[in-house]
Copies of this chain bind each other. A is one copy, B any other.
Amino acid sequence: MLHASARALKYFSALGICATIAVGTLYVTKSAAQTDNKVQSQAQSDASPIYGITIPAGYRDWRLISVNHLAGGNVKQLRAQLGNDIAIKALREGTLPFPDGTVIAALHWNETSLDENDRVLATGFPDAGLQSFVAGSAVNVQFMVKDSKKYAATGGWGFADFTNGKPGDEALHKTCFPCHVPAKGRDYVFAHYAPTP
């Protein structure tokens, strides 16, 4: 049994959001079987179980949806949600349900502190009791991909969860959709678009 906090690291990541780009099908022809099997095996190992989603190229360049903070027990994470162009347009215009092609990425990091920040707080605001934490080491990244036909059984969304570039197992991916059900009223997306200051 997984420790509750460890489970939370995975599952509740879904709050940041969960799912990926539906690029590259895994279909392989039967000619040149050996080579194809190798390609297929490689492709499968890089794709999420159930949904067959791989990490979308260049997702780190997508625009910011929002940020969040998850804490409790041993879990202290900083998180950001990024969206592809379709996602950002839909969020800004309040379009529900999200259009097919929407992809939302949830990036999760362990919190850490920085000496420079601590020095500013200690000298500039000695009585304020302030603490600063920044994004440290990467924990995982998750994707939600909207394809209302392909993923009809899960609210039109495919999900993917990667740690160090590798997808989690099938048991993990079975938890994605149920976790998102409380956000059904927003087409299963937890993240709200953060206002522009």
Interface on A for B, CB 8 Å cutoff? 4-5, 7-8, 11-12, 14-15, 60-61, 63-64, 66-73, 75, 78-80, 82, 107-109, 111, 114, 116-117, 119-121, 124-125, 127-135, 137-141, 162-163, 179, 182-183, 186, 190-192, 194-197
Contact = CB atoms under 8 A, between A and B. Distances in A.
A189 B194 CA distance: 24
Contact of A132 (B12, B63, B197): B12
A108 B5 CA distance: 28
A194 B67 contact: no
B66 A128 contact: no
A135 B64 CA distance: 12
Contacts of A66: 134-135
A97 B136 CA distance: 23
B138 A195 contact: yes
B194 A107 contact: yes
Contacts of A196: 60, 107, 138, 141
A189 to B, nearest CB: 10
A129 to B, nearest CB: 4
Contact of A8 (B119, B128, B139): B128
A120 B182 contact: yes
Give the top 6 A-B pairs by smallest Cβ distance, nearest first.
A72-B130, A138-B197, A141-B197, A135-B194, A72-B129, A4-B128
Most B C-beta atoms less than 10 A away, residue of A15, A134, A194: A134
A190 B82 CA distance: 22
B60 A80 contact: no
